[in-house]
Amino acid sequence: EHFDIVVTAREVIDQLENKAEKKGLTIRMDTSYPDPIFVHADAIRIYRVLVNLVSNAIKYTDKGSIQVGFEVEDDMVQVFVRDTGVGIPPEDLDRIFERFFRVDKSRSKESGGTGLGLAIVKHVVEAHNANINVVSTVNEGSNFSFKLPIGQSTAEMEEEAKLELEMMSQDR
């Protein structure tokens, strides 16, 4: 499957913006890539991953902002969701992806949820042959990221098909 991850991120932000605004938070999108970024991935499941990551960013941030962004490197794009929230203690960093694991039981109870969000994120990202990475500092914030392979845009695919046809007709 082939889709523009920038459009997907925009949809996720539109869906969650109200929730963020209620907490006085803004969600920004990294605009250094104004062009579409076509990726080879499962659109619905990657949408779900972004919803889970941005929802967490909103839930575990009291002030500041949330940033969704992209870094294109050769034929890969690194997608990241960064927040200025409570952060995760180093000793819990590899446990947060376990089912039902929550850093602070009492605090998490107030904010609701089951502790499944990141287990799903990890499962989906790994099904795409990628790793989910997290860098976090307590009281400063967290940055979750993963990489996806970039595909061609529809225009590029059409152009390539046209060239191929021309070459085939020359062969004859």
Q: Which residues bind Mg ion (CB under 5 A)?
A: 56, 117
Identify any residues that bridge with 171 across adjacent strands, giving them in sequence order: none
| 84 near ligand ATP, rule: CB under 6 A | no
Angle at 137 between CA 33 and CA 56, to 5 degrees: 65
| 38 near ligand ATP, rule: CB under 6 A | no
d(CA 52, CA 122): 11
| 137 near ligand ATP, rule: CB under 6 A | no
User: Residues 138 to 157: which contact ligand ATP by CB under 6 A?
Assistant: 142
Considering only residues 115, 135, 149, 150, which one is a binding residue for ligand ATP as defined by CB under 6 A? 115
d(CA 77, CA 149): 6
Residues contacting ligand ATP: total by CB under 6 A:
24
Whether the Cβ atoms of residue 142 and residue 135 lie closer than 8 Å to each other: yes
Q: How far is the CB of 112 from ligand ATP (least distance, A)?
A: 7
In this structure, what DSSP letter does residue 150 have? B
Q: How far is CA 152 from CA 38, 40, 56, 110, 149, in A?
A: 6, 9, 31, 45, 10
Judged by CB under 6 A, the stretch of 71-79, 111-119, 145-153, 158-166 that binds ligand ATP is 111-119
Partner interacting with residue 115 (select from ligand ATP, Mg ion, none; CB below 5-8 Å by kind): ligand ATP
Q: By CB under 6 A, name the binding residues for ligand ATP.
A: 52, 56-57, 59-60, 83, 85-88, 96, 101-104, 108, 113-119, 142
